[in-house]
Amino acid sequence: MIAHLFATIQNQILNRVNENSLDRFVSIEFADLFDPLLIKKSKLSEDICTVFGRPAENFALVGVGISRTLTNELGNDLTGARDAIKEIFQDRYNSDETFLTPKLIGGFRFDNSKIATDPWTSFGDGQLILPKLLFVQSGLQSGVIISPDLEYNELLILLNKLVPHDSFQTETTFSHSDNVRSKIINETKWTENVSEISQNIRDNKYEKVVLAASIALPLENNWNFDNAFDFLWTNYPECFLFHINLGNGIFFGASPELLVRLNENELETAALAASIARGINQNEDLTLAAELLSDQKSKIEHQLVVDSIVDKLKALELDISVNSVPKIRKLKNIQHLLTPIYGKPKADTNIIDLVDRLHPTPAVCGYPENNAKEIINHYENFDRGWYGGPIGWVDANGKGEFAVALRSSLIMGGHAWLFAGNGIVGSSNPNDELEELLLKFQPLFNAVRGTNIIDPASISPFESSQVRT
């Protein structure tokens, strides 16, 4: 069945492409719906360099092979990105394309004013990747975008790999105790840091700081990345799923947070801040959601993020619409306060400009921004790298979508580095913040560990009804 599907896709591509047609981008809509994630079941899977998707909305981008990469052209404030992107696409695509408009996929460091250190050095300040083949699903439509930098003979080689592979996925394991608590940073030090930061906020030195932590897990030789990513894709379909494979390292995750989305008619962003656990049944779940909505500490933290985003957008003189009351965003093991924010873009509004303007929000950094970065640098003894940074895609027309790279992991040198963080305000309780931190580590811990069952000695998603950021 899958072999026939792959053969059909091969034929549709070859019927549209010849040696003389690859001097510009070629976009081919498939006759029948094709799930790009099926490429992982083919021999072409070894060439996958980028994935970005929203499974619950049937949206997926799967990039195969790297045609070009923008790195140094991006600049510290992304000012060079627009011109570099424009040069790649200039006069080489049909401007009336819709879901098959050519795209770059990539991400940026949380703080590109700092020099990248291990294990992030190969990722640099940011990268936008132009895949040789970009398979796209958008709702009930699907197709492929072929880069003009791809030679015809190379296209044939890639298409010949679009056949089922005969390898099997081994069970994911890692070397030591499967216990989040045993891998977490020193709990005493964590709670002391939270207590100090919270006291400084009460002393009016700043308003909020997002304090992150990192866990390093050694991986067994038979560890399988596809198992880990498939676990996230299946269990967290409401999130933004992503992975960037640079050959010597893979950054991947499942983020609940939209940074900004831009289409022809609308700009969309969101404030996602303040959290609480899910309940063990519907009644408890609703009770916890109501508690989160009424909690004064959570409302203050959330409103701070809303106000900051709105102020940044108003500085662009955009017409903004925002709800006065947040709603609940429910994920598998956690629920958040969410306030969608919409705007009317100008004709020349570009997604890269919006990313540059909005990142970082107080939801991932703190407020005021400069104070928060100083506190982060003081208390965190690791490089965040791309954790907490923008990750997503931009098309040839300057439209696109970026998420905030939360709930993420870096696979490098036989280790998995897991990242998670909490928003600290004046009323934060250090012990509650620790439980919340463990809760946020759980999706990636489970994915890397290869199971959806946490060791009983570690935190349960339903263990504490008092968990919140």
Question: Is there a domain that residue 306 lies in?
Answer: no
User: Model-level pTM greater than 0.85?
Assistant: yes
Catalytic residue selected from 40, 132, 183, 208: 208
pLDDT digits (tens, 9 = 90+) for 103-127: 999 999 999 889 999 999 999 999 9
Residue 403 lies inside a defined structural domain of this protein: no
Mean pLDDT across 34-61 = 97
- The predicted pLDDT at position 185 comes to 64
Of the two residues 32 and 459, the one the predictor is more confident about is 32
Work out the average pLDDT over 411-423: 93
| Predicted pLDDT of residue 169 | 52
Grade residue 82 by pLDDT with cuts at 50, 70 and 90. confident
In a domain, 277, yes or no: no
Percent of the chain with pLDDT over 90: 73
The whole-number pLDDT of residue 183 equals: 58
- Residue 97 sits at the vertex; the CA angle it makes with 95 and 99, to the nearest 5 degrees, is 140
Give the total number of structural domains in the chain.
1
For every residue of the chain, which 3-state class applies, written as one string? CHHHHHHHHHHHHHCCCCCCCCCCCEEEECCCCCCHHHHHHEHHHHHEEEEEEEHHHCEEEEEEEEEEEECHHHCCCCCCHHHHHHHHHCCCCCCCCCCCCCEEEEEECCCCCCCCCCCCCCCCCEEEEEEEEEEEEECCEEEEEECCCCCHHHHHHHHHCCCECCCCCCCCCECCCCCHHHHCCCHHHHHHHHHHHHHHHHCCCCCEEEEEEEEEEEECCCCCHHHHHHHHHHHCCCCEEEEEECCCCEEEEEECCEEEEECCCCEEEEEEEEEEECCCCHHHHHHHHHHHHHCHHHHHHHHHHHHHHHHHHHCCCCEEEECCCCEEEECCCEEEEEEEEEEECCCCCCHHHHHHHHCCCCCCCEECHHHHHHHHHHHCCCCCCCCCCEEEEEECCCCEEEEECCCEEEEECCEEEEEEEEEECCCCCHHHHHHHHHHHHHHHHHHHHCCCCCCCCCCCCCCCCCCCC
Q: What is the pLDDT of residue 83?
A: 84
CA atoms lying within 13 Å on the CB side of residue 125: 15
Q: Is 342 part of any domain?
A: no
Q: Could you tell me if 423 and 366 are in contact, meaning their C-beta atoms sit under 8 angstroms apart?
A: yes
Please report which confidence band the pLDDT of residue 19 belongs to, taking 50, 70 and 90 as the band edges.
confident
Kindly state whether residue 317 falls inside one of the protein's structural domains. no
Q: In this predicted structure, what is the pLDDT of residue 453? A: 35
Centroid of chain to Cα 265: 24
How far is it, in rounded angstroms, from Cα 433 to Cα 211? 10
pLDDT of residue 77: 63
Specify the residue for token string 């963080």: 421
Q: Is the pLDDT of residue 172 over 70?
A: no
Given the residues 40, 41, 207, 257, select the one marked as catalytic: 257
Q: List pLDDT tens digits, range 432-453.
A: 999 889 889 999 999 998 744 3
- Residue 360 in any domain: the answer is no
Average pLDDT over residues 412-436: 93
Local confidence band at 68 (pLDDT 50, 70, 90 cut-offs)? very high
Domain that holds residue 68: 2-160
Q: Is 433 part of a structural domain of the chain? A: no
Q: Is residue 151 annotated as part of the catalytic site, yes or no?
A: no
Residue 20 lies in a domain: yes
Q: What are phi and psi of 217, to 5 degrees?
A: -115, 125
Give the pLDDT of residue 76. 60
Is 208 part of the annotated catalytic residue set? Answer: yes
Over residues 219-244, the pLDDT tens digits come to: 988 889 999 999 999 999 999 999 99
